[in-house]
Amino acid sequence: MSAPKSKIIPSRSAKRAHFDPESIYPILDEALFCTISYSVDNQPFSIPTSFVRHENKIYIHGSVGSHFIREIEKGIPVCITVMLVDALVVAKSAFSHSVNYRSVVIFAQAEVIDDIDLKTASFEWLTNKIVPGSWGYLRPVKGNEVKKTTALAFALDEASAKMRSGMPIDEEEDQDLPIWSGLIPLKTSRLEPISDSSSENILLPEHLL
Does 43 engage in binding with its own copies (CB under 8 A)? Answer: yes
User: Among residues 93, 112, 121, 157, which is the contact residue for its own copies, using CB under 8 A?
Assistant: 93
Does 6 engage in binding with its own copies (CB under 8 A)? Answer: no
Shortest approach of its own copies to residue 189 CB, angstroms? 5
Does 41 engage in binding with its own copies (CB under 8 A)? Answer: yes
**Sequence letter at residue 162:** K
Q: Which stretch binds its own copies (CB under 8 A): 22-30, 52-60, 85-93, 152-160?
A: 85-93
User: Among residues 3, 29, 30, 48, which is the contact residue for its own copies, using CB under 8 A?
Assistant: 48
Does 164 engage in binding with its own copies (CB under 8 A)? Answer: no
Does 99 engage in binding with its own copies (CB under 8 A)? Answer: yes
CA distance linking residue 110 with residue 41, whole number of Å: 18
Cβ-count burial 78-106 (b if 16+ within 10 Å, e if not): bbbebbbebbebbbbeeeeebebbbbbbb
User: Among residues 88, 121, 155, 163, which is the contact residue for its own copies, using CB under 8 A?
Assistant: 88
Beta bridge partners of 49: 34
Does 187 engage in binding with its own copies (CB under 8 A)? Answer: yes
- Measured from the CB atom, the residue of 56 and 109 that comes closer to its own copies is 109
Torsion of CA 147, 130, 51, 117, to 10 degrees: -40
Residue 188-207 contact track with its own copies, rule CB under 8 A, x = bound: xxxxxxxxxxxx--xxxx--
51-80 binders of its own copies (CB under 8 A)? 63, 65-68, 76-80
CA distance linking residue 130 with residue 50, whole number of Å: 9
Sign, CA torsion 30/69/119/20: negative
User: Among residues 2, 44, 114, 143, which is the contact residue for its own copies, using CB under 8 A?
Assistant: 44
User: Among residues 52, 59, 154, 168, which is the contact residue for its own copies, using CB under 8 A?
Assistant: 168
Q: Which long-range contacts (CB under 8 A, 24 or more apart) does 11-19 make?
A: 13/162, 16/162, 16/163, 16/164, 17/160, 17/161, 17/162, 18/160, 18/161, 18/162, 18/163, 19/159, 19/160, 19/161
CA proximity to 163, closest of 92, 82, 90: 82
Q: How many residues bind to its own copies according to rule CB under 8 A?
A: 94
User: Among residues 45, 54, 155, 157, which is the contact residue for its own copies, using CB under 8 A?
Assistant: 45
